[in-house]
Structure 1
Amino acid sequence: MKLTYRGANYEYDIPTVDMIEGEVAGKYRGQNWNYRYPRHIPNPNKYGGTNYTKKRDAEAGDRDVAAARASERVESYPTVVEVAQVHRANICNILDRRQQAAKAKGDETLLRLLEIEWQQMAC
């Protein structure tokens, strides 16, 4: 195929790829159609570290190990109560800084509003 790019002529040969017919995937208007795969790409037997050709016993053992690891990970996460306590402490710290900034500016209106918010949060 002859092509031109910015005045330069060149010839481009489209590489041919050997295709393999896969199993029948379905029918369209009464005709079977198949998936086609490039020959140079091997079919993967692994996905995400899991080998598809393992026996059931090995898979059951892997599930037990995975469940044990998952339970270890869950135990390391903070509880909802701990997260709520940290969140409340952060809000109180922010309110305190805002009060200090309002005092430095001499903004009495903002100080009253922050005091009301302080009481609502029970800091």
Structure 2
Amino acid sequence: MQLTYRGANYEYDIPTVDMVEGEVAGKYRGQSWNYRYPRHIPVPKKYGGTNHSAKRDFQAGSRDAAAASAPYSAVEPSPTVKEVAQVHRANICSILDRRQQVAKAKGDSRLLRLLEIEWKQMAC
């Protein structure tokens, strides 16, 4: 495609992106339409339900299953609530520790007392 910017002509080739169709998102004028994702981005899983893209691959049957499931092989399982809570608690404790160090460096005894109370409540 020939383009011009401030009198300078240049040729621009639109890059092609390999797209993967996701689940059916809805209907418009009687036609189904799907989400589309670039192949390098994993298709997100739905929370609390079945993965519709895996269901679609299973229903395809005659297609090559290895090629159809290739984009989904890199998706890691989502963390459990317990794992997320542990990471969250560890982050809060590290922030609290850093705040205590800064309060000690500044010599702010009032803030140190408040942070010690918060530390006891968290039981880090």
Class of the TM-score when normalised by the shorter of the 2 chains: 0.3 to 0.5
Greater RCO (Cα-Cα under 8 Å, separation 6 or more): 2
Q: Which structure is larger by alpha-carbon Rg, 1 or 2? A: 1
**With structure 2 as the length reference, what TM-score do the two structures score?**
0.43
